[in-house]
Amino acid sequence: MTDIEFLGLVDNAYINVPYAGDRKSNYIDLPNRIYDPVEGQRVMDDALDVVVSLEKYGFDGGGISEQHNGPIGLWGNPFVPATWIASRTERMKILVNGPIMNNYQTPIRLAEEIAAVDTLSRGRLIVGLPMGHGMQHHSTGMNPATARARHAEAHDLLVSALNNDGPFEWNGDFFHVPYVNLWPRPTGPISFMLPGGGSIETQQLAARRRYAYQCVLSPLEVMAKNMQRFRDFCREEGYEPAPEQSAAVITLHVAETDAIAKREVQDIEEWGYQNFFLSPTHDNFPPGYVSLASMRGMKGGYRSKPMNEMTYPELLENRWIVAGSPQTVADGLNEVIEKLGLGRVIIPLTTGLKPKWMVDKVLTLFSEEVLPQFRPAGKPLVSAEDRVGFDTRLEYSVKRRKGHPVPAIVRNGNLLDVNKARLDGVDAVLGPWPGTTQEY
Amino acid sequence: MSNAANIPGAARDVDERSWTYWTTPSTVVVDGLETAFRRSGTGETVVYLHGEGATRAWLPLHQELASGVDLIVPEHPGFGDTERPSDFNRVDDWVLHYESFFRTLGLSRIHLVGHSFGGYLAAQLAVYFPDRFQSVTLINPMGLRLHGEPLRDRFRWTPEEEDSHWFNGRRDLLLEQLTREGSPEQDVQAYAELTSIALLLWNPRYDTKLDYRLARLTAPLLSIGVDDDRVVGNQMATRFAELASNGHFTRITGGHEAPSSHQVVLEQPEDVAAAVIQHVIANS
């Protein structure tokens, strides 16, 4: 059996909102006068506490997402909480799922954030690169008609900036950067993931780029076909995909018994679907956001039922939610993993309507009674030793690059090593200046 | 010219089209782009630039206008049966296309008319090529920044809201003019056309350059407004007239039945045609 990577994705929904069915949607223009900063702090605190706790529960990683203009989530920039999480965890990966690149005036700005948090987290970042859902284009001014082309070029520039020596010039359709020259640089290659709703284009893109492909919110049989097609695309690209490249989002709720699980979570999940998944077509699919072929498919009945009308039994049936006793959840999870061929499971852990004590209970039961069935050795896949960088000054001194330029000044016609200039009896002169050039 | 990014109706079989106002368009190749247009009538040359949703038909307004002028109704790149080239993403792409269209057809002494989004394109054409036109008529145009007007977010309307905004609740009375092939293809066509509008007017939803550029117009500009425009508001048409040199405003009222709407071109084609032809004749 493949070692499955388990990542928790913690939202921080703000739940004290009117029923969305009385409005077009709660996504875009719910008046923010109902926002209470004290409640907001509680929401953020709880979310961060849960993410950090995932390490002790034995998860391989924990993450957050980017949301705008409404109660579905309060992290406008997910790198802000990611930095906080990095400082309070040691081992687990940090999933930023993810920055919406078209919100950035230039992907260079995003590359800087990735490199900084990658350094602070000691190489533990996983970065999802979603397009951003349709509603966010109404919220932020991103033009959906150019979104996919701009996103594609932004990705290429981002990756070039992260991986290639600078300075170099970028001559694109959307970005012209005369001097791409990233400081700071990441500690190593960044792990990326592409969330997809089932479009062939996204699967091909993820396969070509050798990224993880994450599927979500489609019927189980459709998700299985999507994952298989993604792996076929990888093989067409000439490689066998790594297990963690096959990822899916599965909501879990573990309780003492099936009956208790249903009692605890049914209303909560239906509230989420009815209030957070309700959006009219023009909000979901602003002009140009999807191809004409996709629009034709949707208008022709591709999605049989609006998500906000999904009932709890339907959510269970499609395995969008796996809920019940520890054994029921373990069996359900195993079924989805087997059916989809997953190597990475992303588990949403709401701290919205589900009270924090209940999230803690779910995590305790999952960690102690479900996870051991997938991890007989009792260890997460990653350990603190996998981290890059250094733990001690000793390690820093041993690992740091040697032969780098020393800080220098010119005095009395000589170039001097500043670190030696203040010491008696030490020759600080590097050579006459002009005439002496430092190698780099 | 690179491949079209957006091919709504052009790839489909026109023989299957049988809605009331369908007529087969002529086509002309403009800078490599096959451009669909309809033409009828004699007299002064009038080019009519359509608004959203008014493609693939020879409508009563067109018939009225063609009874008094030589009327040419092209379909914009990205609309109707004219593809949108993938490099088209700025308004000057559409402006230059139309300038080439006029040259390709050998048109001179052009009277330019535009409704709604077509009014926006007509205003742009007129500021880029002020000497090209004998007169300009804008009917409920869009594209200026107005302060104090509430946001009317054309990109977020549900079908019910579209009825309320576009048709002031009277959509059902216009079904004959609005019917095309039906869902899903009609929806796909509408999505494609709206995408072309979004390229130009998503962010921002106006062109501040027009504020000073409209003074470049030399041809007389008639800006036609209505009683109750729920798409662009009631200040837009008057503001175009104020900003244009030699501009003036007139309102087509709905009479005693109901206040006139943004879709006055569908609801009151005789009144619109009379106002347009009067302006054309006065400036011939």
Query: Could you report the per-residue pLDDT of A248-289, keeping only the tens digit for each?
Result: 999 999 999 999 999 999 999 888 888 887 888 889 899 999
Answer for the pair A349, A338: CB distance below 8 angstroms, yes or no: no
Answer for the pair B8, B193: CB distance below 8 angstroms, yes or no: yes
Chain A closest CA to B8's CA: distance in Å? 8
pLDDT at position B4? 47
Nearest to A275 by CA among A321, A308, A312, A311: A308
Cβ contact B202–A282 (<8 Å):
no
Tell whether the model's pLDDT for residue A321 goes beyond 80: yes
pLDDT at position B2? 41
Nearest to B141 by CA among B58, B77, B207, B96: B207
Token pair, residue A94, equals: 């940090």
Tell whether the model's pLDDT for residue A1 goes beyond 90: no
Task: Label residues A29-46 b or e (16+ Cβ within 10 Å = b).
Answer: bbeeeeeeeeeeeebbeb
Token pair, residue B272, equals: 């619109």
**What CA–CA distance (Å, rounded) separates A194 from A192?**
7
At CA A324, angle to CA A323 and CA A327, rounded to 5?
115
Cβ contact A288–B199 (<8 Å):
yes
Cβ contact A24–B8 (<8 Å):
no
Between B126 and A293, name the one with better pLDDT.
B126
Answer for the pair A48, A85: CB distance below 8 angstroms, yes or no: yes
pLDDT at position A304? 55
Partner residue opposite B156 with nearest CB, options A138, A288, A292: A138
| The amino acid at A264 | E
Tell whether the model's pLDDT for residue A187 goes beyond 90: yes
Partner residue opposite A299 with nearest CB, options B183, B198, B203: B183
Cβ contact A287–B158 (<8 Å):
no
Write down the residue that tokens 């309700």 correspond to: A278
Token pair, residue B163, equals: 């009825």
Partner residue opposite A282 with nearest CB, options B157, B196, B203: B157
User: pLDDT tens digits, residue range A72-100?
Assistant: 999 999 999 999 999 999 999 999 998 99
Partner residue opposite B191 with nearest CB, options A280, A295, A300: A295
Tell whether the model's pLDDT for residue A220 goes beyond 90: no
Tell whether the model's pLDDT for residue A199 goes beyond 60: yes
**What CA–CA distance (Å, rounded) separates B129 from B216?**
9
Query: Choosing among A143, A148, A279, which should be mutated to test the B contact, i.e. which has the most B CBs within 10 A?
Result: A143
Q: How confident is the model at residue A303 (pLDDT cuts 50, 70, 90)?
A: low
Split chain B (284 residues) into runs of 10 and give each run's mean pLDDT: 48 81 97 98 98 96 98 98 96 98 97 98 98 98 94 92 95 96 92 97 97 96 98 97 96 90 97 98 97
The average pLDDT across A325-350 equals 95
Least confident of A1-5, A82-86, A109-113: A1-5
Partner residue opposite A287 with nearest CB, options B158, B185, B198: B198
**What CA–CA distance (Å, rounded) separates A185 from A199?**
33
pLDDT at position B7? 52
Cβ contact A283–B8 (<8 Å):
no
Q: How confident is the model at residue A117 (pLDDT cuts 50, 70, 90)?
A: very high
Tell whether the model's pLDDT for residue A396 goes beyond 80: yes
* pTM of the complete model: 0.94
CA distances from B269 to A134, A288, A302, A353, A432 (A): 37, 32, 39, 55, 88
pLDDT at position A25? 84
CA distances from B118 to A95, A175, A439, B124 (A): 47, 30, 62, 10
Cβ contact B183–A145 (<8 Å):
no
ipTM over 0.90: yes
* Residues of chain B contacting A, Cβ within 8 Å: 6-8, 89, 153, 155-158, 183-185, 187-188, 191-192, 194-199, 202-203
* First and final C-alpha spacing in chain A: 49
Least confident of A222-236, A262-276, A297-311, B3-17: B3-17
**What CA–CA distance (Å, rounded) separates B258 from A23?**
29
Answer for the pair A180, A167: CB distance below 8 angstroms, yes or no: yes
